[in-house]
A = this chain, B = another copy of it.
Amino acid sequence: MTGNTAAPLRGREARKLRASALAAKFPYIRRKLPAVELMSAEAVEIIEANAETILEEIGIEFRRDPESLRLWRAAGAQVQGERVHIPRGLARRLLKTAPREFTLYARNPQRNVRFGGDATVFSPVGGPPFVTDLDRGRRYGTLEDLQNFIKLAHMAPAIHFSGGCMCEPMEIPPNKRHLDVQYSFFRYSDQGCEATPETPGHARDAIDMARALFGAGFVADHTVVLGNINSNSPLVFDGRMLGSLREFAAANQGTIVVPAVLAGAMGPVTVAGCMAEILAETMAGLALTQLVRPGAPVILGSFVGAISMRTGAPTFGTPEATQMIFATAQLARRLGVPCRSGGSLCSSKIADAQAAYESAHTLLPTVLAGVNLVTHAAGWLEGGLVASYEKFVMDADQLAMMQKLAEGMDLTERGQALEALREVGPGSHFLGCEHTQANFETAFYQSTIADYSSFEQWSIDGSLSADQRANRLWKKMLAEYRDPGIDPAADEAMLGFMAARKAVLTDAVEEE
C-alpha cells in the first residue's frame, strides 16, 4: 500500500519547507467544522432535568464561606447549614447575565484569544508537581522547568494561550510560589495565561500583578487572566475556592468552574450520572459568579476520566471520557456559556503508544465537540502528575494538525481541483502537476515529529522512536527561543509588587 512515490519537491523548495516548519505562530482557531453533537435530544433533556433535581433536592454544600450562603439566600435558594438547595431553573436563569463569548487580553494584542462560539484555544498542561525528560528522568519541577515550558508554549505554533502552572516550582515555599509563577508567565511570553488562585489571597495577588503589568485602568474593564475553580466533587465547594471565585468575578476576570469527576470515584460509574453531577456543580458555581457581579466572564469546565475497577487508579482516553467531553460541550452550548475540557490526557508513565492512544482519544473528541478552551493539551503524563518535555512537543505537533482539521474542507476552485483532475486524467499521477506545484506549501501541515521515511532510511538515522525525536526537538526549540521583551516600567512594577508581597508572606503565614 505504500509504493515508491517520488518526492514532489526537490532542492530549494523542499529546504524552504523544512526551515519554516517551526516558524509561524497560528492565531487561535475559528472552527469551520460543525460542532459534533453525540448526545441525543432525549439524553440532553434527562441530564438537564437530573441536574436540576440534584440542585434542588440534594443541594450543593458551600463550605466555610458565609458570603456565598448570603448571596444564595438573597437569590431565593433554601440554605440549611452550609447546604444550598437551588430551586429548579434558578441557576440557569442567573446564568443569563453571563457572556456567551469574551476576549482574554494578552500583552501582545495579536495573541488575544476569544472564548466561546466557534473559537477554540489550545492551552498546555497545568498542575504537575513532577517533570520528566529522557535525559534526566522523573523529578520534582523547578522554576527553571516552568520557565522552559512557558517558552515552549510561547513558540509552539498551535498553543494559543500559556495556560496555568505547567509544573510546580517545588523549591519555592508554597505560600510565595504563586508570585514567581505569575511573574514567569507574564515575563517570558506575551501570550495570555491563567492564574493559580488556590486561595483568595493568591487570587488578589494575581490580579494585582496583572494591574502592575497592564495598568489598573486597563484591568478594570478588560479580562486579562483566568482562574480555575475546582469543586470538591461530589457536590461541594470549599471556602478557599469560593473566596477565589468571588475575587475573580468581582474584578471581572474569567472564572472556570471545573469539577474533577472520575467516574466511579467522585461520580457514579455511568456517563449520564456523572454528567448530571458535573452540570449541577458547574451551574451552581457559575451562577454564584453572576450573583457577585452580573456579566462576569465564565467558562463551564469538565475534567473527565474514570477509575479502573481493578485498582481504583485514574484512567483517561476511555470511551466514557470521550462521551463526557462531547456531552460537556453540548450542555455548555445549551447553557450559553463557553466551555473548557479535554486536552491530551493519559495515564501512561512514559510518552509511549499508551500515552498517544489515550491522548488522541481525548484530543480529537475535544476538537470535534467544539470545546472552546482545550486545557492540558500538551505535555500531560501520568494522570497529570508529570509534565513531560518530550510529550509536550509531541502533543504540540498534534495540536497543529487539529488546527488544520478545524479549517474544514476547502470548497473553492482550488479545493475542488477539477482542473488538476482534467490535466492528469486516467493512469498518470499528480506529483508534478500544476495544481500540486501551486499548492504544495499550504497543502498539508508538516509534522515536526512523525517519521515518514523508509525503514532503511529510518534505520540509518538511528531507528529513533517518536519520543527520542521529540527529545531533540524541544532542545532545539529552547535553544531558538527569543525573548519577546517587556516594557521596563511594567517589569519593574511587577518585580516591585512581588518583592513587597514576599516580604509580608513569611513562610509561616497560612494564607487566607
A234 touches B417 (CB 8 A): no
A445 touches B353 (CB 8 A): no
A420 touches B268 (CB 8 A): yes
- For A110, the chain B residues whose CB sits under 8 A away are none
- For A408, the chain B residues whose CB sits under 8 A away are 323
List the one stretch of A3-11, A116-124, A241-249 in contact with chain B. Answer: A3-11
1/0 per residue, CB under 8 A from B, across A405-416: the answer is: 101111100111
- Taking CB atoms and an 8 Å cut-off, the chain A residues in 249-303 that contact chain B are 260, 262-273, 276-277, 303
List the one stretch of A332-340, A426-434, A496-504 in contact with chain B. Answer: A426-434
Name the residue in A269, A315, A427 with the highest tally of chain B Cβ atoms < 10 Å from its Cβ: A269
- A352 lies within 8 A of chain B by Cβ: yes
- For A311, the chain B residues whose CB sits under 8 A away are 7, 14, 452-453
A313 touches B431 (CB 8 A): no
- For A441, the chain B residues whose CB sits under 8 A away are 309
- A127 lies within 8 A of chain B by Cβ: yes
- A440 lies within 8 A of chain B by Cβ: yes
Distance (whole angstroms) from the CB of A475 to the closest CB of chain B: 18
- A371 lies within 8 A of chain B by Cβ: no
A319 touches B401 (CB 8 A): yes
Q: How many residues of A contact B (CB 8 A)?
A: 140
- Taking CB atoms and an 8 Å cut-off, the chain A residues in 442-467 that contact chain B are 443-447, 449-455, 458, 463, 465-467
Known A401-B318, A451-B347, A455-B385; contact A415-B271, beta-carbon cutoff 8 A: yes
List the one stretch of A39-47, A218-226, A486-494 in contact with chain B. Answer: A39-47
List the one stretch of A30-38, A69-77, A192-200, A203-211 in contact with chain B. Answer: A30-38
- A227 lies within 8 A of chain B by Cβ: no
Docked CA distance A357–B17 (Å): 23
- For A91, the chain B residues whose CB sits under 8 A away are none
- For A277, the chain B residues whose CB sits under 8 A away are 421
- A131 lies within 8 A of chain B by Cβ: no
A424 touches B315 (CB 8 A): no
- For A402, the chain B residues whose CB sits under 8 A away are 319
List the one stretch of A54-62, A101-109, A173-181 in contact with chain B. Answer: A54-62
- For A323, the chain B residues whose CB sits under 8 A away are 405, 408-409
Closest chain B residue to A458, Cβ basis: B349
A–B Cβ pairs within 8 angstroms, 16 of them: A2-B384, A9-B309, A33-B38, A42-B411, A53-B418, A234-B424, A234-B429, A235-B421, A235-B426, A306-B444, A309-B440, A312-B431, A320-B444, A349-B451, A352-B352, A352-B467
Kindly list the 5 A-B residue pairs having the minimum CB-CB distance in the complex, ordered from nearest: A273-B417, A360-B360, A1-B384, A356-B356, A268-B417
Q: A267-B430, A272-B415, A322-B405 are known contacts; what are 11 more A-B pairs with Cβ within 8 Å?
A: A2-B384, A235-B426, A269-B436, A269-B439, A269-B443, A319-B405, A323-B408, A352-B352, A352-B467, A357-B466, A382-B455
Q: Which residues of A contact B (CB under 8 A)?
A: 1-3, 5-9, 14, 17-18, 33-34, 36-40, 42-43, 46, 50, 53-54, 57-61, 83, 127, 138, 232, 234-236, 260, 262-273, 276-277, 303, 306-315, 318-320, 322-323, 327, 347-361, 364-365, 368, 382-386, 394, 398, 401-402, 404-405, 407-411, 414-418, 420-422, 424-431, 435-436, 439-441, 443-447, 449-455, 458, 463, 465-467
